[in-house]
A = this chain, B = another copy of it.
Amino acid sequence: MSNQIGLGLHHLKTLNALRQTGSLVEAARMLHLTQSALSHQVKELESRIGMELFVRKSKPLRFTSAGLRLLTLADDLLPQIRLAEQDLLRLAGGESGRLHMAIECHSCFQWLMPTIDSYREHWPEVEMDFASGFNFAPLPALARAELDLVITSDPLLSPELVYIPLFDYEMLLAVSRRHPLAQKEWIAPTDLRQETLITYPVEHSRLAVFKDFMDKAGEEPAATRTAEMTLMMLQLVASQRGVCALPNWALAEYLDKSHIQCRPLGEQGIWCTLYAAIRAEHQEQPYIVDFLETAKETCFSRLDGIRPCKTNEVSYSLSTVL
């Protein structure tokens, strides 16, 4: 008779995910559950409350007043719980540690900076450092324990490394607004035959445009040139010096301002996953785990166009079995 409703934290998390994603399927993916689970869960909760939590029909998913009430509750509670858990982890498992990281793509600074900022508040003792640039291979360095974390979308499987997926994103081709390709709905590999493709200065085999798009069709762009920074690439694109493939979330903020448009690669689009690579021994380390958690939160709250990823973790043993 007590606790009529029996609200649980998972309910709040579900509602929250539901709001962020706008659909059961996506929310389920974000929570690493099945869509069925959520359906049951919500239904059960609704029956206990005695009214619906959201209107099912209608695409961007509208919440009822009851749903909204629970969402405000979630907004109050979840962050507090997050903080408390962080405090506990710090209290328990050594406050300090080393977190030397490297990113493979400069765009990542966009979310890495805020991530680090909020992380540092909670782990002031963790010694942080980064390296970036295309002139050295970070993953081997990670395996050798010269680094502790590498952000990459191009996993290099190795027994001592584990890849934690952060989010899925789409590779888009950025073209000038006046460029003929801007007219097309989506880009075919042959469309790039006469284009100059601007890329980061790394081997083509590690770039999704090549690996998953051009190479598959046996096509090549007319020319390639490299640039180290996203902004510079976009300047070149805007000046009609070429086209380039970039993550949708990195592009998002430039789309209105600049004279740039973007188009999917292929009819389905090319979707990639961004991973955080860490050494397997670090998998349970509170200060590492919390960094990853913070990173995901930051990304999902600041980046447009990204999606929660299906898989939960990629390690050597796991994926070599597949």
Chain A interface residues (CB < 8 Å from chain B) = 1-5, 7-9, 32, 49-51, 65-66, 69-70, 72-73, 76-77, 80-81, 84-85, 87-89, 91-93, 164, 283, 286, 289-290, 292-293, 312-313
Contacts and interface: CB of A to CB of B under 8 A. Distances in A.
A5 B89 contact: yes
8 contacts: A1-B164, A1-B289, A1-B292, A2-B32, A7-B9, A49-B92, A50-B93, A70-B84
A93 B88 CA distance: 39
B51 A91 contact: yes
Interface centre among A4, A32, A51, A293 (most CB of B within 10 A): A4
Contact of A5 (B1, B50, B76, B85): B85
B73 A5 contact: no
Contact of A77 (B4, B8, B81, B85): B81
B77 A80 contact: yes
Contacts of A89: 4-5, 49
Contacts of A9: 7-9
A82 B80 CA distance: 16
Contacts of A73: 80-81, 84
Nearest to A51: B92
A297 B289 CA distance: 38
Nearest to A32: B2
Interface of A is mostly: helix
Contacts of A283: 1
A49 B88 contact: yes
Given A1-B313, A4-B286, A8-B8, A69 B88 contact: yes
Contacts of A85: 3-5, 7
Contacts of A1: 164, 283, 289, 292, 312-313
Nearest to A65: B91
Contacts of A7: 9, 81, 84-85
A80 B164 CA distance: 34
Contacts of A292: 1
Contacts of A84: 7, 69-70, 72-73
Given A4-B289, A293-B2, A88 B66 contact: yes
Given A1-B283, A293-B2, A313-B1, A70 B51 contact: no
Nearest to A290: B4
A58 B57 CA distance: 58
Contacts of A290: 4
A227 to B, nearest CB: 35
A44 to B, nearest CB: 14
A50 to B, nearest CB: 4
A91 B76 contact: no
